[in-house]
């Protein structure tokens, strides 16, 4: 195990995985919430666009989305997210497009998790809010969404855990995160295959297990008795 830490940048790979997960989660939560609002909007066009986004993205492989982000958006269209003068420009662009790809993909699942929470809110409460003069946006902000997020904690926990594990797909576009570290270690030091596997498995277990247990307990605590 010591050879792994001596010959490979284990801590750098772990740190990059954490950054991928954190920033893509923020993006997925923001974008997913917007799409969920579109899906329950009284405007038919918004509902159609939201439903189309969810159906298309959920049925598109994540590897394809990440590859599209790098090859098409970066290399074909030349949309760079890092300064060309930076010595780490290529690496930074890869990481940032990976974050965008992960956020875009998981936003579809965040949307459905939040929409499931919206469905737990009794229709009578929304109707009562409208009867006292609250508009659609005010109704969402003050009545529906606060309760929806409480009801969506458990499904959101599943999305967060899936997102953390799916950061390994970023290795397909050359991002040197944890899965890429394991692949490199196995390729260069076959004798370290089992230690590398155990280290990566333990890392993801330490990340995901507390999240699963903690958010499940939180969802039970926040559950509203109907």
Q: Which pLDDT tens digit goes with each residue over 6-65?
A: 777 778 888 888 989 999 999 999 999 999 988 888 889 999 999 999 999 999 999 899
Instruction: Give the domain CATH number at 104.
Output: 1.10.3720.10
The answer to whether residue 144 sits within a structural domain is: yes
Structure tokens, 125 = 């409460």
The answer to whether residue 2 sits within a structural domain is: no
The answer to whether residue 4 sits within a structural domain is: no
Concatenate the DSSP letters of all residues of 59-123 into one string. TS-HHHHHHHIIIIIIIIS---SS-TTSTTHHHHHHHHHHHHHHHHHHHHHHHHHHHHHHTTS-H
Q: Which pLDDT tens digit goes with each residue over 126-142?
A: 677 777 767 777 777 77
How far, in Å, CA of 143 to CA of 141, rounded?
Answer: 6
Query: Which residues form the domain of 181?
Result: 9-222
The answer to whether residue 139 sits within a structural domain is: yes
How far, in Å, CA of 212 to CA of 86, rounded?
Answer: 38
Backbone angles phi, psi at 60, to 5 degrees: -105, 130
Name the nearest CA neighbour of 50 among 63, 26, 23, 32: 32
The answer to whether residue 3 sits within a structural domain is: no
Contact 10, 199 (CB under 8 A): yes
Q: Kindly report the number of other CB atoms within 10 A of residue 43's CB atom.
A: 10
Name the nearest CA neighbour of 147 among 129, 133, 164, 170: 129
Contact 10, 4 (CB under 8 A): yes
The answer to whether residue 160 sits within a structural domain is: yes
The answer to whether residue 111 sits within a structural domain is: yes
Q: Which pLDDT tens digit goes with each residue over 169-178?
A: 887 666 766 7
Identify the three-state secondary structure at position 135.
coil
Number of structural domains the chain divides into: 1
Token pair 């801590």 is at which residue? 11
pTM: 0.85
How far, in Å, CA of 13 to CA of 91, rounded?
Answer: 13
The answer to whether residue 1 sits within a structural domain is: no
């Amino acid at each position: 195990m010591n050879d792994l830490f001596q010959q490979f940048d284990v801590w750098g790979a772990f740190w990059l995985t954490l950054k991928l997960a954190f920033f893509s989660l923020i993006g997925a939560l923001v974008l997913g919430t917007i799409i969920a609002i579109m899906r329950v909007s009284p405007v038919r066009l918004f509902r159609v666009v939201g439903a189309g986004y969810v159906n298309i993205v959920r049925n598109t492989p994540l590897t394809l989305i990440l590859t599209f982000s790098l090859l098409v958006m970066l290399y074909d269209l030349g949309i760079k997210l890092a300064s060309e003068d930076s010595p780490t420009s290529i690496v930074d662009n890869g990481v940032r497009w990976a974050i965008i790809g992960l956020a875009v993909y998981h936003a579809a699942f965040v949307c459905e998790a939040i929409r499931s929470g919206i469905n737990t809110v009794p229709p009578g409460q929304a109707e009562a809010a409208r009867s006292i003069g609250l508009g659609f946006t005010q109704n969402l902000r003050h009545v529906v969404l606060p309760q929806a997020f409480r009801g969506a904690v458990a499904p959101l926990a599943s999305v967060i855990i899936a997102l953390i594990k799916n950061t390994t797909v970023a290795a397909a576009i050359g991002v040197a995160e944890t899965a890429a570290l394991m692949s490199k270690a196995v390729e260069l030091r076959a004798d370290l295959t089992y230690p590398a596997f155990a280290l990566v498995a333990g890392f993801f277990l330490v990340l995901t297990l507390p999240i699963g247990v903690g958010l499940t307990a939180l969802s039970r605590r926040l559950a509203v008795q109907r």
